[in-house]
Every structure is written in structure tokens, then in C-alpha cells.
Structure 1
């Protein structure tokens, strides 16, 4: 009888342990809900490194889209605005351009049969609701989809950011695993003492993102990393849903040393490098 009771208790304990493991893994997946790396690297990959994800920039024309779709990059980054003439509809262009040879609808149709992720960058609120509606029509659950906007003023930023609450309200119908790329407007001047991301900037951003269910990546300017290490490290620590995406302006100056603290001290799954080709080559060769 004692053996039977002991066996039953062992069976119960095994079931509870199994349930705990399932719950733990499920909860971890929910917290680390950015599926971008899993999509490109694969779930069986032991070492997930966000630096392996490669980017195509300014895919705002038919020719650039054709080139990017046939190339080795993983993520296609493009800008969305409302056409400056009739018919008023979302098109692929970056201000000051007001027209394009491809609409967002055509762009999404062109991408959907390819194994690429997409990042849509919005410079105005008026383009967001109609774009979300188009995106929902062709959305594929497993495809990485990033939605980008600068929602706060940042170091040296002169452009007006999008209103954060209005932007987040406009994208709230997208699936919860859609990555929200939420950044600061920034500026950078050669030869000047450029300030980094302040404590107030990162704390305000975290307050905005705290209640979100989506994974959030914070696009941060590579030339401002060295003076912002403490602030951005703190920001990453506030949630497992948070990542950084390091980007660089065309004329920015930064050294490999600016990136080393992040590569050495922060989880490599949590920092993407959306760099110009020269910066990426230098970073990969380290």
C-alpha cells in the first residue's frame, strides 16, 4: 500500500513539475514576445544573436523593392506617407518627397510571398490608420512586422515627434506580437559635444511603454551610444519585452569602441544593428 501511495505521489509530482515547465516556457515566450530572431534564425538555434539580422534601407520604390526582395537581407525598411495629390493614399516615400511609383498596398502585395520581415516608418499620424487597415488585410501571423515612429523629442532633435498616445491608439488593433519601434527625434553635429539620451528621456519613454503588451524596440543613434550607456542599459532592464535597435545617420561619426560595451555586457538577443554597410562590416569583423 505504501508503495502504491508513494508511486501515486511521484506521478502527481511529475505532472505538477511538467505543468510548471510548460508554464515557465510559455511565460518566457510571452515575455520575450519579439519573434524576429526565431523567424530568421530558427527555434533550434542555440545562440541567438540579433546582430545577424540584416537590413535593407529606404525601400521606397519599385526598383528598390525588387532589389531588396532578391537580396540577402532579412528586414525591409520603408517610409510611409500620404500622397500629396489625389488619390490621397499611403505611398512609399520619405519627406520632402510627396509622391512615389509604388503605393503601400502594392508594396505589401509584393512582399507577402517572400521570406522577409518588414519595418514601416511613419513620419505623420495621418498615414497610420489607413496603413494599419491595409496591413491587416495581408498580415501573415509568422512574419516579423515592425511599426516605427519617433514619439518623443531626443538629444538634438529638431523634428516634431508624433503624439505618442495618438500613435499607439492608431496601431492598437494590430496583433500583440507586432514589434513597436518607438524612438526619439535626434540630431548630431560633427565636431560638437553631442549630448546623449538623458535620464528623463528614457524614463518618460518607459512610462509610455510600461503598459503595452507588444514587444518594443527602441531605435537609438549609434553616435550617441557612448554617452548613454547607463541610461539605455537601465531601460532594457525594465522589461524583457524591450530591445534596442542601433542605427546610424549617413554622415554620423562613431567608432567600434562605442558598440563594444553593449556587445560585451548586454544580452546579444536584445540589440539589433541597423547600420550602414561600412559600420556593419566593422562590427561583424570584431
Structure 2
């Protein structure tokens, strides 16, 4: 039985590929981006999340834990992750669902059936299903079968990837992907390692491989995505370097270069996961900064640059 571990499903999205889409988020990621918007996606197994807003203070979760890994203090319920056996008895015993399990196993056929509930919207709004994460390539057995089955159902597909994975997995899924949403965060490898924990060499090698295949077969679309993160990727030098790379290596195959402006919507997720987030006090990028970065990008990919996300108004 081929099962995938899914931590979320979003319906009616308009920013994860062409048209209106349903986005399936697979769990597990080899990167540890300092700005990660989905901290619950990184660990490749099931884990716990506690929501203070739902908690009624009954302490049933603490009573249910067989190894006493949970405690309560003025800031809420705390989990000793070194003691936790991930039996999830606490979540089962929580009457208000404040203690939640992140990550649920899905069989391919069941998940395809779930995604296809939105088929009418895909047809009306030229959309489909996007697989995101985490890093989908990490689930190397489940992902190809899931995408293959979606294509058999006539569903348009997109793969949102960091590109950090085995090249053979990318080539296995290639025939079943209509649009690749491919991240380029940095060209400078040292900066990439400092902010994500991994080198970008595999990422750029895989990107060249995908671009070459698109040149030959002309059967998939390629969108490049760059997050604009304060103090990291949102720097003129970085956008210049990415722009130069795109102009040299990709300009004949990419359909768009999306600059994704930083947001802090994920702040509550870090609180629920009991994790520190470096960007918790950061504000939105101001509009003029984003416009300046977009102007630099336009020099290298004229007519292909799109800005997404919220920005602060000009002062």
C-alpha cells in the first residue's frame, strides 16, 4: 500500500499555479529555511501541535500521556519532545481538539478522489492540483504514483519544489507535471547554506536538467519563484545574481518569475509548534522596496516578472 503523509489541503488557491487549484501539502523537507512559512512541514513524520485558542484547560491531554511528556504552565501546554513517543494519546484525549496531530496518511486513490471533488472548479477556472510541501520530492515513492493517477483522471498538475532531491525522482515525475514551480532563493552557495542549511548545487543542477528537458519536449511550463525575505533574499545583489542566471540559463524556457513578498501569517504556527521564529518581529516589506527589486528583475526577464504577497504602503 503506497501511502503519503499529508499535513494540509487547501482548496480554491490562485497562487500555486495556473487557474484555481487545490494544493496538497506533503510532509517532510530537507531544507531548514530561516523564514519557513510551514514549520509543521519540516519533520518527515507525524507530530503534535497545540492551539491555545482552542484549549479549555481541562488537562485531559496531560492525564492521557502514558510517559508524562506533557506539562502545564502559565504559557500553556508544553511537550517534552525527547520523552514523547508519538503515541498521540494526548490528541485522542483532548475534547476541544486543541492538541492536534500534524500529518495524516493518505492512500493514492483516496487522495486523488478527495482532490477530484474540485474538478468542476478546475474546468471552469483552468486549474488543477498542485503538490507542495515541505518538499514533495522527499516522498519519492508516493509522489510519482499520485501525479500519474491525477493525469489518468485528466487533472492538470503542478509541482511546487525547492529542487533539492534526487534527479531520478524529478525525471520520474516529469511526464506527469504540467507546471513546475521552482524556487531559486540564492545563487551564492554560501548564502544559500547559511539561510537554508543546504547547498544549492543539487538544486541548480536539477533545474538545468528540467530546463533541458522542457527545451527538447516543450510539454511542461516552468515558473521560477523567489521569496523576498528581509535581511536575506530581498537584496538588490541577490536579485541581480538570480536575474543574470535566469537570463543566461533559462530565459528561453521560463514562463514567469514570481517574487513572493514576505509575510508573517505563519507566526501563529510557530507558537503552536512551540518553536522560535527569527522573523516574528519583522514587518512587511515596503512597497517601494519591492518595486525596486521588481525593476531589477525586469532587466533580466522583461515581461515575465510577477509580484505576489502583501506589502506595506509607501510612507
TM-score under structure 2 length normalisation:
0.46
Aligned to 1:172: 174
Distance 1:182 1:111 in 2: 24
Alpha-carbon contact 2:7-2:27 (below 8 Å) kept: no
Aligned to 2:258: 245
Runs of 5+ in structure 1 lacking a partner? 1-57, 83-92, 152-160, 187-193
**Count of aligned pairs between the two proteins:** 186
- Distance verdict in 2 for CA 1:244–1:225, change over 3 Å: farther
Alignment of 1:148 with 2:163, yes or no, is: no
Structure 2 residue corresponding to 1:271, chosen from 305, 309, 312: 305
Distance 1:180 1:274 in 2: 17
Alpha-carbon contact 2:294-2:307 (below 8 Å) kept: no
Alignment of 1:220 with 2:226, yes or no, is: yes
Deviation at 1:219, TM superposition (A): 2.3
Q: Which has the higher helix share?
A: 1
Distance 1:202 1:257 in 2: 30
Deviation at 1:146, TM superposition (A): 1.8
| Structure with more contact order per residue of length (Cα contacts < 8 Å, sep ≥ 6) | 2
Deviation at 1:132, TM superposition (A): 1.5
- Distance verdict in 2 for CA 1:81–1:272, change over 3 Å: same
Deviation at 1:100, TM superposition (A): 6.4
Distance 1:199 1:81 in 2: 21
Aligned to 1:119: 130
Deviation at 1:204, TM superposition (A): 4.2
Alignment of 1:256 with 2:248, yes or no, is: no
Aligned to 2:182: 182
Aligned to 2:115: 108
Deviation at 1:110, TM superposition (A): 1.4
Alpha-carbon contact 1:80-1:104 (below 8 Å) kept: no
Q: Give secondary structure in 2 for the equivalent of 1:139.
A: coil
Deviation at 1:117, TM superposition (A): 4.2
- Distance verdict in 2 for CA 1:107–1:199, change over 3 Å: closer
Q: Give secondary structure in 2 for the equivalent of 1:240.
A: coil
- Distance verdict in 2 for CA 1:124–1:257, change over 3 Å: farther
* RMSD, matched Cα: 4.2
Deviation at 1:263, TM superposition (A): 3.3
TM-score under structure 1 length normalisation:
0.50
Distance 2:258 2:27 in 1: 22
Aligned to 2:165: 162
Alignment of 1:99 with 2:87, yes or no, is: no
Aligned to 2:73: none
Aligned to 2:8: 60
Runs of 5+ in structure 2 lacking a partner? 1-5, 29-39, 47-101, 187-193, 215-219, 268-278
Distance 2:302 2:20 in 1: 17
